[in-house]
Amino acid sequence: MATAVLAVIVLTVLIPSGMDPIHVGWIFPALEGLLLVALVIGDPGAIDRRSRALHRVSVGLVAVMMVGALASAGFLVAELIDGGSATDSAGELLAAGGIVWLVNNIVFSLLYWQLDGGGAAARAHRMPVHPDIVFPQQMNPELAPPHWRPQFIDYLYLGFTNATAFSPTDAMPYAPRVKIAMATQAMVSLAILGLVIARAVNVFS
């Protein structure tokens, strides 16, 4: 999880200044870094310490990342629709679009990781009887080792497949809030991919 947050911070800094939604590119990375440090200090080992304060920090971190990711995606889409000067360079446009797309996928993966069963700390102590997201290993226990629990890579895979297929592949959303999150991610991904590719082709031609 920490690696994913660091990846988002680095990618956010790399977004070209013309695509920066609020023109202060260090605000979101700095705030995300501070919240991540607070989480690591509070639970330096595996994420299994159940604490209301740590849970709030974790939720706050994901919320801040989600606001930043959606703001970047919204600004990029607006620039593409309005034909802003920042979209005149095909190379820069593809780079910015790729970064924004990657950031949104990682952030939505963190959101699924946080939503499912009350978060990683809660799942480490007890898997929910009625999970928010059901993985194949839960539907067919014989396919998994005893006491199997989803790791962050499982949610990362879910996020990327949902962003490319625009639908669930192996893991299925059961809770309404997860269905809403996955539908939102699919729409954001479709808008970014469709508009960026169309604009890039237009610039090249």
Give residue-wise pLDDT tens across range 75-99.
Answer: 888 877 876 666 667 777 788 888 9
Give residue-wise pLDDT tens across range 120-179.
Answer: 777 776 776 678 899 988 888 888 888 888 899 999 999 999 999 888 888 899 999 999
- The DSSP symbol for 49 reads -
Domains identified in the chain, total number = 1
Return the exposure string of 114-145: e unless at least 16 CB atoms fall within 10 Å of the residue's CB, then b: bbbbbbbbebeeeeeeebbbbbebbeeeeeee
Mean pLDDT value of segment 110-115: 92
Whole-model pTM? 0.87
199 lies in which domain range?
A: 2-204
Q: Which of 55, 49, 15 is nearest to 35 (CA)?
A: 55
CB atoms within 10 A of CB 94: 16
Give residue-wise pLDDT tens across range 162-203.
Answer: 999 888 888 899 999 999 999 999 999 999 888 887 777 776
